[in-house]
Amino acid sequence: MKMGTVVRTLPRSSPAQLQELSAAGVATVHEAMGRTGLMNHYMRPIYAGTRIAGNAVTVLVHPGDNWMIHVAVEFCKPGDVLLVAVSAENYDGMFGDLLATSLRSKGVAALVIDAGVRDVADLREMQFPVWSRCISGKGTIKATLGCVNTPVICAGTYVSAGDVIVADDDGVVVVPYSNVEATLIAVRQRLAKESSKRDRLASGELGLDIENMRPALERLGLTYYETLEEAQLS
Amino acid sequence: MKMGTVVRTLPRSSPAQLQELSAAGVATVHEAMGRTGLMNHYMRPIYAGTRIAGNAVTVLVHPGDNWMIHVAVEFCKPGDVLLVAVSAENYDGMFGDLLATSLRSKGVAALVIDAGVRDVADLREMQFPVWSRCISGKGTIKATLGCVNTPVICAGTYVSAGDVIVADDDGVVVVPYSNVEATLIAVRQRLAKESSKRDRLASGELGLDIENMRPALERLGLTYYETLEEAQLS
Amino acid sequence: MKMGTVVRTLPRSSPAQLQELSAAGVATVHEAMGRTGLMNHYMRPIYAGTRIAGNAVTVLVHPGDNWMIHVAVEFCKPGDVLLVAVSAENYDGMFGDLLATSLRSKGVAALVIDAGVRDVADLREMQFPVWSRCISGKGTIKATLGCVNTPVICAGTYVSAGDVIVADDDGVVVVPYSNVEATLIAVRQRLAKESSKRDRLASGELGLDIENMRPALERLGLTYYETLEEAQLS
Amino acid sequence: MKMGTVVRTLPRSSPAQLQELSAAGVATVHEAMGRTGLMNHYMRPIYAGTRIAGNAVTVLVHPGDNWMIHVAVEFCKPGDVLLVAVSAENYDGMFGDLLATSLRSKGVAALVIDAGVRDVADLREMQFPVWSRCISGKGTIKATLGCVNTPVICAGTYVSAGDVIVADDDGVVVVPYSNVEATLIAVRQRLAKESSKRDRLASGELGLDIENMRPALERLGLTYYETLEEAQLS
Amino acid sequence: MKMGTVVRTLPRSSPAQLQELSAAGVATVHEAMGRTGLMNHYMRPIYAGTRIAGNAVTVLVHPGDNWMIHVAVEFCKPGDVLLVAVSAENYDGMFGDLLATSLRSKGVAALVIDAGVRDVADLREMQFPVWSRCISGKGTIKATLGCVNTPVICAGTYVSAGDVIVADDDGVVVVPYSNVEATLIAVRQRLAKESSKRDRLASGELGLDIENMRPALERLGLTYYETLEEAQLS
Amino acid sequence: MKMGTVVRTLPRSSPAQLQELSAAGVATVHEAMGRTGLMNHYMRPIYAGTRIAGNAVTVLVHPGDNWMIHVAVEFCKPGDVLLVAVSAENYDGMFGDLLATSLRSKGVAALVIDAGVRDVADLREMQFPVWSRCISGKGTIKATLGCVNTPVICAGTYVSAGDVIVADDDGVVVVPYSNVEATLIAVRQRLAKESSKRDRLASGELGLDIENMRPALERLGLTYYETLEEAQLS
């Protein structure tokens, strides 16, 4: 996409869908999508204990330049997640409390950024959730065009505007907009299955037996010994 | 050791020994062992403020495959530490709240894993302590055999089943099973010495004087100047 | 500077200056100095929520050897920041609760170290603030001479004894001693400007309009489309 | 895309197009596309001095499992580039001389893999070009389904089957299949401009003057001093 | 093992065994041992094109201190590999052309070191092979005791004195002394199998068919489509 | 220093001094300066086998912006080394064959840059030596002011314009301009000492005996055992 392209609109999911994805959490949603959609594990929350889901307003910026974030604010609506991708590896502090104040006034739910953030004490006090590659006080300039609401690559994932970003203490996962309903169906199945399994595990039953894994392990040659010495002699 | 080897038993230390090692903490135990046994500093707790010690139930897995963790659960006893080594560098989320529920039902004290963990909000809520290489939502498969309770290399240390794992906010240290008593003796000496030293330092006495370091420093040529200019002119 | 050089004295700022720099915080001070002076983003606090400013007592040590830290304690005064640079990349735990006790007795405000620290649970309990490259239990020796209160390179910055170290949850920034007053003037201007801007942003006004960025963006060719399809067709 | 999806066909560019992109090289093609399409700089050739361009046969695998590479071979044609993406960070040696022999028999031009390779001495002797994240002897398994010829994320770029992969000693860049002709037009313009500029630079003319940068620099406040002392006094 | 322990002797393999392991190479030996024994992939040769195998004379040093390497030289015999482990992460240049001259005079085959080396231009000219974690000019001291010929952890592997170190452009693998003969038997089987397979692959036969993988892939649900569109519609 | 400061002049060493430092090489010069002045080991040559020394023309740029390199060319003279520092961690390809052509026309000896370079195949063909943090095709912009010939921090070292940069396959070391003569004296002493020592080592004498280290080792408690078993029993 040509640099300097700004798209004003994006599709949005229902509050109920977002709420259900947020409650399910990153690991479950990732599994429900066939183990896909996960951002690189270097994406971490700036403070623990938050979970969110919202449609992505995407921004593409260049290293050391946060200008397009300012352009993107105009198109954010309540519940959205501002998602910032960078055209190359970068660690600068592209976002701080002023931009957070601006996003808060629009009702934005969170920021996800493949670069640094700063003013993190203020952001924590505002309870404005951020997942980022790092924390850095390094300031940025406003000199080059990027894009808003075009597809981007962020922390190893492909994100289109409107895709649902789910984030919690485990990291960040991306649900393509058109997959939301199918993902929710798989999420519900997984949660139902996990719930009954959790009870059995809590009561001391082994996962090995619940899942009937012993025959497969035996076929592959798993061998039990009473002691290490016995194993070494065999 | 041949892949697919599972050893059922391991030696275990007394609760008093474990309690004393846990109270001493990682840095002191590492010093008491002649500055050995420390895991790589990338091993971090998923939440701060916990300290544990327990005998290791060791597991060797392959990148992206957590099957052998399920096999190992069966051999855990109250107070044990489940210790997971990987045969190559890996960052996948190999352990989550279901496995933690299963380990909790066995009374396991903690997990130490040279890979990623997930469901960390749940683990924190359960107060199930984990030290890991990273946090990642990435799911794993169950396809290949590894080993249980054989010696492994974990985060740069050699661990045999039954070795005592001590972990706190400073990281993780491994005490070979047969060294526990000797280590405790050295720990006690060190703690006694540190205690009196701490009081003297708190009262403003210098470590330089308490340890009588000035003569050695002078012999090596340490030279004091009043100002930087004076030093530059000399 | 010759290894083994110790300088006894350093210039010190007024408590009012230090207090004002600390309150302004890392990101603001860095901007006020023309986006300079910031340490590498790998320097992190061992616990969140602290902000400090103090004149640097500088120490240069070698990998694995913390001897010169002991030499430096003697020259610390209330409010100082002990700043430890290393002559090569190092991750050892060079500082723990005993040294912190000693520094506390001198009234030292904080430690900044381009290496590891240990006993972090104790340091947190003492509320002794530390910014470091990492946390590691690894012990160090006392064998080689370094320097005290000579200029050093620490985490990518140049620090002379007496320079003001400002640190908070965003990281660490260095204000050269002779720039303190000029920096404070720029800080005040920036804070005044930010304050009025924050109010306007909070009320929903766009940064784009407050800063009148639209003409410049248009000149560079920024183009708005209603939908992605429209942008792709253009 | 559902795991286990294999697409047999892909669009292919003309040999003349591939030849022209290869000759232009990675940096020029990246610039011609508006500074986009570049893989992360960790992607390096296993030996220096090679440049290639070819349409991508894409493969998605999981950490530690190279099975889908074997599935993909069947769909490779002379001049293609086999491109392997992994669903999470991985460093295993997924590809060696046997797979290279198989690809060579199909006329494949090169391998690009976001993981490790092995048998690199053999690959160099065969003159089979590889760009990879690392070199590792670590073996992999054949247990899980991935995808062939579906869109993938590889080293921070989005790649569809048929996209042209250009690689040389500077790294790897991806040209979307439908952009090849437009990219070539921009490449030619850039090369023409660079050629005349190179001659002027070689003759000692300054880029500052060729590009008439002085007025803009002056407007921003660039100030020349004869000596450092003069600059410090100003 | 107590710091300061030096063992004079180690078991040694026959020249024929070493020659055969060296010829087989790292990847093959690693596979023949059930995918074990491989050092971390950060261990790289300082120049390409060498392959060696020799019994390990092990050394344990501390960060920034190479004294024990000097102690170890005395116990090296022709064909040995000097193997240096460090008690914590370190990047200093612990070894240069003087030590290489000393080792060469003893007939030592190579150095493997989990730290830095220097004088690499000289080492290349001497054709003295080295595998290391990095290259660094940083000098080290001679102040602390380590161990010689005791078991060590090196780059993620456990090495006892006398274990065979095999190294080539793929990295480094460790064969426990007592496993040499069993490993060679497995190596021969693997090489025989690979040789016939290589011919079939070179003639264009698919690995998928040679290994009869299609039924297993089909059982897991691998599905072929003619085009991406067809796959998306299914 | 204020951004936008350009200093036209710098002190320069004699060709004989530069030649002698270049011949001595990085490791020897670093030792001769008391083990100081070494850049971080991540600074690597883009091709092996070159050694240079020259006075630094310093440049300070910002991430993603190479404008000031163009400004600096004007002040380079034959034999100089262009040294580029960045105000924060950056990996972009800031320098390529056009800038190299321009520098070559001025007789510049080499580039040292704490960021990426590109067109490395061309640079190798031109035999234009470069030491850099990485290789990357990523293009940069020309938008922000930095500095020329002011003191900078580059890869962990402090460099003033005119300081001598010595670089070879071991990395890069900085000799302050005013220390050149003193450094050369120490270099000559070291080389003389090393030369006689090299002969003795080549003849099989041990460093332990040449340096008479045995008594010190014995005092610290070094203990020799014939076998590992004997050591374990002691």
Q: Which whole-number Å values give the CA distances from D150 to C88, D171, D172, E216, in the listed order? A: 46, 23, 19, 21
Q: What tokens were used for C33?
A: 């100095």
* DSSP per-residue codes, chain E: --TTEEE-------HHHHHHHHHH-HHHHHHHTTS--BPPTT-EESSSS--EEEEEEEEEEBTTB-HHHHHHHTT--TT-EEEEEESS-B--B---HHHHHHHHHTT--EEEEEEEE--HHHHHHHT--EEEEEE-----B-----EESS-EEETTEEE-TTPEEEEETTEEEEE-GGGHHHHHHHHHHHHHHHHHHHHHHHTT--HHHHTT-HHHHHHHT-EEESSHHHHHH-
Mean pLDDT on E88-107: 97
Tokens 């984030």 sit on residue: A167
> How far is Cα B139 from Cα B156, in angstroms, rounded to an integer?
25
**Which of D36, D151, D153 is the closest to A87 by Cβ?**
D36
Are the C-beta atoms of residues F179 and F13 closer than 8 Å to each other?
A: no
d(CA F161, CA F12) in angstroms, rounded, equals: 9
Closest CA to F124 of F44, F54, F23, F45: F45
> What's the confidence (pLDDT) of residue E141?
95
D28-42 pLDDT tens trace: 999 999 999 999 999
End-to-end CA distance of chain D: 63
D179, with CB counted inside 10 A (0-12, 13-18, 19+), is middle
Q: Pinpoint the alpha helices (H) of A77-139.
A: 97-106, 120-126
Spatial separation of the C-alpha atoms in residues F99 and F70, rounded to whole Å: 8
Q: Tell me F146's DSSP state.
A: -
pLDDT above 90 for B229: yes
Yes or no, beta carbons of B89 and D87 under 8 Å apart: no
Identify all chain D residues contacting F151, using CB atoms and an 8 Å cutoff: 228
D149: nearest CA partner in chain E: E228
Mean pLDDT of chain E: 97
Chains A and F touch (3+ CB pairs under 8 A): yes
Other Cβ atoms closer than 10 A to F216: 13
Contact: F96, D27; criterion CB under 8 Å: yes
Q: State residue A56 phi and psi, 5-degree precision.
A: -80, 125
ipTM score assigned to the predicted complex: 0.96
Tell me how close the Cα of F75 comes to any Cα of chain A, in angstroms: 27
- Selecting from A91, A92, A143 the residue whose C-beta is nearest the C-beta of F144 gives A143
Q: What is the DSSP letter of B136?
A: -
Residue D190 has a CB neighbour count (10 Å cut-off) of 16
Residue D220 structure tokens: 């921003």
pLDDT single digits (tens) D217-234: 999 999 999 999 999 988
- Chain F partners (3+ C-beta pairs within 8 A): A, C, D, E
Examine the pLDDT at E146 and tell me if it is beyond 90: yes
Residues of chain F with Cβ-Cβ distance to C87 below 8 Å are 35-36, 38
- According to DSSP, the β-strands at C223-225 and A44-45 are unpaired
Total number of residues shown for chain C: 234
Specify the residue for token string 């880029």. D207
Residues of A in contact with F118 (CB under 8 A): none
Q: Are D180 and D164 in contact (CB under 8 A)?
A: yes
Question: Chains contacting E with at least 3 CB pairs below 8 Å?
Answer: B, C, D, F
Rounded CA-CA distance D151/B220 in Å is: 65
Which residue among D73, D120, D137 sits closest to E207, beta carbon to beta carbon?
A: D73
- Model confidence pLDDT, tens digit, residues A107-152: 999 999 999 999 999 999 999 999 999 999 999 999 999 999 999 9
pLDDT of F47 higher than 90 = yes
How far is it, in rounded angstroms, from Cα B162 to Cα B12? 6
For residues E132 and D70, what is the distance between their CA atoms, to the nearest angstrom?
A: 33
Please list every residue in chain E whose beta carbon sits closer than 8 Å to the beta carbon of residue C146.
Answer: none
pLDDT for the residue numbered E1: 79
Amino acid at A91: Y
The distance of F162 to chain E (nearest Cα, Å) reads: 22
* Neighboring chain D residues of A157 at a CB cutoff of 8 Å: 153
Longest dimension (CA), chain C: 71
pLDDT > 90? residue B234: no
Mutation site for E-interface testing, chosen from B26, B91, B158, B179 by largest number of E Cβ within 10 Å? B158
Q: Is the pLDDT of residue A211 over 90?
A: yes
Of A114, A105, A2, give the one whose Cα is nearest residue A56.
A114
SS3 of A167-206: the string is: EECCEEEEECHHHHHHHHHHHHHHHHHHHHHHHHHHCCCC
Beta carbons of D169 and F91 less than 8 Å apart: no
Find, among D7, D1, D11, D9, the residue nearest to D176 by Cα.
Answer: D11
Is the model's pLDDT at B130 over the cut of 90? yes
Helices F15-24, F180-202: inter-axial angle, 10-degree rounding: 30
**D158 CB-near residues (< 8 Å, 6+ apart):** A151, A153, A158, D151, D152, D174
**Which residues in chain B have Cβ-Cβ distances shorter than 8 Å to A224?**
6-8
The tokens describing E17, both together, are 């065994």
**Rounded Cα–Cα distance for residues E29 and D190 (Å):** 50
Q: List the single residue in D with minimal CA-CA distance to A176.
A: D1
Give the model confidence (pLDDT) of A1-59 as tens digits: 799 999 999 999 999 999 999 999 999 999 999 999 999 999 999 999 999 999 999 99
Q: What is the spatial distance between Cα E76 and Cα E60, in angstroms, rounded to a whole number? A: 15
F chain contacts of residue A65, beta-carbon cutoff 8 Å: 64, 141, 143
Instruction: Point out which residues pair with C130 in neighbouring strands.
Output: C111
Tell me the nearest-neighbour CA distance from B172 into chain A, angstroms: 22
Q: Which residue of A has its CA nearest to D4?
A: A34
- CB neighbours (10 Å) of residue E41? 24
Contact between chain F and chain D (3 or more Cβ pairs less than 8 Å apart)? yes
Contacts for E87 with CB less than 8 Å, ≥ 6 apart: B35, B36, B38, C138, E60, E61, E62, E63, E146
List, in sequence order, every residue forming a beta bridge with B167; answer none if it has no partner.
B52, B172
Q: Which residues of B touch A233 (CB under 8 A)?
A: none
pLDDT tens, position by position, C178-221: 999 999 999 999 999 999 999 999 999 999 999 999 999 999 99
Asked if the model's pLDDT at residue B78 lies above 90, the reply is yes
The secondary structure of residue F32, as a DSSP letter, is H
CA F72/CA F79 separation, integer angstroms: 15
Contacts of A75 (CB under 8 A, 6+ apart): A6, A8, A9, A10, A57, A148, A149
Neighbours of chain C (3+ CB pairs under 8 A): A, B, E, F
F-interface mutation test, from A60, A61, A65, most F Cβ less than 10 A away = A65
Q: Which residue of A has its CA nearest to C198?
A: A98
Chain pair D-E, CB pairs under 8 angstroms: 123
How does DSSP assign A75-91, residue by residue? Answer: T--TT-EEEEEESS-B-
Coil, strand or helix at B171? strand
Chain D residues whose beta carbon lies within 8 Å of the beta carbon of residue B138: 87-88
Q: Which H or E run includes B85?
A: strand B81-86
Does the model's pTM come out above 0.90? yes
Question: Looking at residue C234, what is its pLDDT?
Answer: 83
Residues C130-179: tens digit of each pLDDT? 999 999 999 999 999 999 999 999 999 999 999 999 999 999 999 999 99
CA-CA distance, F175 to F18, in Å (whole number)?
A: 11
Contact indicator for D173, D29 with CB cutoff of 8 Å = yes
Q: From the centroid of its chain, how far is CA A202?
A: 29
Pairing of strands E52-61, E164-168: antiparallel
Q: Model confidence over D188-202: pLDDT tens digits?
A: 999 999 999 999 999
Closest C-alpha among E68, E55, E63, E69 to residue E87 = E63
Q: Closest-CA residue in chain F for E98? A: F198
Check B90 against D144: CB less than 8 A apart: no
Residue whose tokens read 């001479």: C145
Cβ F102–D206 below 8 Å, yes or no?
yes
**Percentage of chain A with pLDDT > 70?**
100
Q: What is the pLDDT of residue D234?
A: 83
Q: What pLDDT score does F206 carry?
A: 97
User: B71 and A231: CB-CB below 8 Å?
Assistant: no
Nearest-CA distance C113 → chain E (Å): 17
Measured CA to CA, the distance from residue D130 to residue D153 in angstroms comes to 18
Interchain proximity B38–E157, CB inside 8 Å: no
CB contact under 8 A, F87 and C62: no
- Report d(CA C74, CA C148) in Å as an integer: 10
What does the block give as tokens for D173? Answer: 């860049």
Please answer whether residues B57 and B80 qualify as being in contact, where contact means their C-beta atoms are separated by less than 8 angstroms. Answer: yes
A105 → closest Cβ in C26, C203, C222: C203
Per-residue pLDDT at E234:
82
pLDDT band at D168 (very low <50, low <70, confident <90, very high): very high
The residue of chain E with its CA nearest to that of B4 is E34
Alpha-carbon gap, residue A16 to A79, rounded angstroms = 12
- Residue C85 in tokens: 């640079």
Q: Is E112 exposed, middle or buried (0-12, 13-18, 19+ CB in 10 A)?
A: buried
Of C34, C38, C89, nearest to F40 by CB-CB distance is C89
Q: Give strand pairing partners of A65.
A: A62, A141
Chain C hits for A105, Cβ within 8 Å: 201-204
